[in-house]
Structures are given as structure tokens and as C-alpha cells.
Amino acid sequence: MKLSIPGRASTAAMVTAVTLLTTGAITGAAPASPLAVAAPDLPVANVKAHLAQLQSIATANGGNRAHGRTGYKASLDYAKAKLDAAGFTTTVQQFTSGGRTGYNLIADWPGGDTNQVVMSGSHLDSVTAGAGINDNGSGSAAVLEAALTVSRTQYQPTKHLRFAWWGAEELGMVGSRYYVNSLTTANRSKISGYLNFDMIGSPNPGYFVYDDDPAIEKTFQNYFAGIGIATEIETEGDGRSDHAPFKNAGIPVGGLFSGADYIKTAAQAAKWGGTSGRAFDACYHSSCDTTSNINDTALDRNGDALAYAVWELSS
């Protein structure tokens, strides 16, 4: 997340069954069909394997995966190779920021109505101080695994699925803004919703849902209600991540967040566990944001919620 300036398969199926008759796909959509395909479990072991790769890439490239550095490009190449092998149509978009070349990676799953695009994304860059495994390897790895699960299950949604990994978010959402600005008015209007995942495995986690588009928000809330987890409205990162350029362009947005350097309250610790009086992520933007800086339970729950939303909103 940019610095500010002064679950299980059976669970997913259960939640789907509970909400099929009440949850529309995205704003203005009809209720989901009773024949809608239940979202599969997003294997947390697979997500963690991607995080281990991102850590190795950072370690081999000066300790970070920051914009304009070799570690960022190697991270993008890792994701692209996985997606290409899985049958996605990938596009690398190039831009310049701060005198350095940056890259976005866009992956389209063939099929679905291209006039109704459900898009999920995360920023792939870290700060220069460290490997950025929670911020934002966690979101990037979960979005990657969701895309690979689409391929593995040969999911054929009604709507078109697009996944994205953004560059230079830490410099002010540069990559995502470049992408949105590059879209024609017609192509912007085809994006039914953009889902953002920026820090979803915080070590002292909270469960925060963006309160932007009501239908997308409700989809995430339904998932967490189905597994008995209370959520709160996300406020710490509001306007500080890659959903902001989409929202500013009039595209419906939503997303998940597990907390950065805000302090967990006693009430939140009573609700979610963890330690009150400490940051949700004490290693935020620091060298200690490594693979040891991840809460597996939060990563698992948020990853499954991501998959649930992608399947629900594209059916």
C-alpha cells in the first residue's frame, strides 16, 4: 500500500448456496442463477509458494522488488510465465515514472462477455526497504492463484475475467492510473467492477471490506458472514491503493484489507484475536516484511473470499 502523505471449498459452496437468491452479480445485475458454479477453495499452500518465490526474487535482487529495480521485473516475469502456461492472454504495459521504466501485467481469461468485465488486481511492487511480502506480495500471490484456479478448473463464466498486477503503486498508484487513463471511454464502461487486494495477510490481522460499490461490498460481507467472521469498513487505506484510479473514473470498486500501521484496538482484538495496542502490520514498509510477516489464517480466509467474489460476480 502506498504511504500516505500529511476458507475452504465446502465453505465457499455453503456461502454460495446461502446467497444465490439474494446476491446480484454487480450493480444492476440479476440475481445469480441457481446453477451458478460454487467458488473453489483457493489453496493457501499455493499462495504461500508464490510468496516464497517473491521472497527469493527479492533476496537475489538487492532485497526488494521496487519500481524500476530488477526485482520488480523478475516478479512480473514469474507471474507472466505462470499465466501464459495456464492459457491466459497476457499483456505487459510499459510506462515511465521517476526516470525508471515500470510495467503492468494484464491477463485475460478467454471467453465470457467482453462487454462485462470483472477485473481483479493488486500492486506487485514493494518499497525499496524490503521484499514487500505482505505489502503487497500477499495480494499479488492470491490474485495469481485465483487466476490459476480459473484455469485449473476450466471455469467458463458468463462475464469476462481480467486480472492485473500493477507497477509503481508505492509511488502513488502510477501503474494503475496509467492503465485507467489508457482506456477509451467505451472500454472503461465495459468494466463491471474492479476488485483490489492490497495487504491481505497482515500478522496481527483485521478483516476490512471496502465500502465503495454496495453490491461488491455485500458480496464480500456475505462470504465472511458465512464463515462467522465479523468485518469492518476499510478506512486506513481509503484512496491509497489501486482502486482509487478506477473509482475516480466511475468504475465500481471493492476490495479487502487486513491492516497496515494503524493500531489494533481492544475491541478488535476481542473480535478477531491478535494483540491490541500493536499495529496490524508492525513491519509495514520495513525490511522485516518477509515471508515470516504473514498470518496464514488471514491469508487463507481473504484468498477464499477473493475467489468467492470472482466466481459470484462473474456468474
pLDDT in tens, 35-80: 468 999 999 999 999 999 999 999 999 999 999 999 999 999 999 9
Please confirm, yes or no, whether 312 is among the known catalytic residues: no
Q: Please determine, for residue 277, whether its predicted confidence score (pLDDT) is greater than 80.
A: yes
Determine the Cα–Cα distance for residues 243 and 223; give it in Å rounded to an integer: 21
Q: Please determine, for residue 279, whether its predicted confidence score (pLDDT) is greater than 80.
A: yes
224: closest CA among 143, 161, 295, 298?
A: 298
Question: What does each C-alpha distance from 215 to 16, 211, 242, 259, 281 come to in angstroms?
Answer: 15, 10, 19, 22, 29
Determine the Cα–Cα distance for residues 158 and 313; give it in Å rounded to an integer: 9
Q: What percent of the chain has pLDDT over 90?
A: 87
Determine the Cα–Cα distance for residues 31 and 144; give it in Å rounded to an integer: 28
3-state DSSP call for residue 1?
coil
User: Residue 261 in contact with residue 280, Cβ under 8 Å?
Assistant: yes
The pLDDT, as a whole number, for residue 110 is 98
The pLDDT, as a whole number, for residue 296 is 98
Catalytic residue among 169, 170, 234, 312: 169
Handedness of CA 147, 148, 152, 154 (dihedral sign): positive
Q: Which residues contact 309 (CB under 8 A, 6 or more apart)?
A: 195, 216, 219, 220, 223, 254
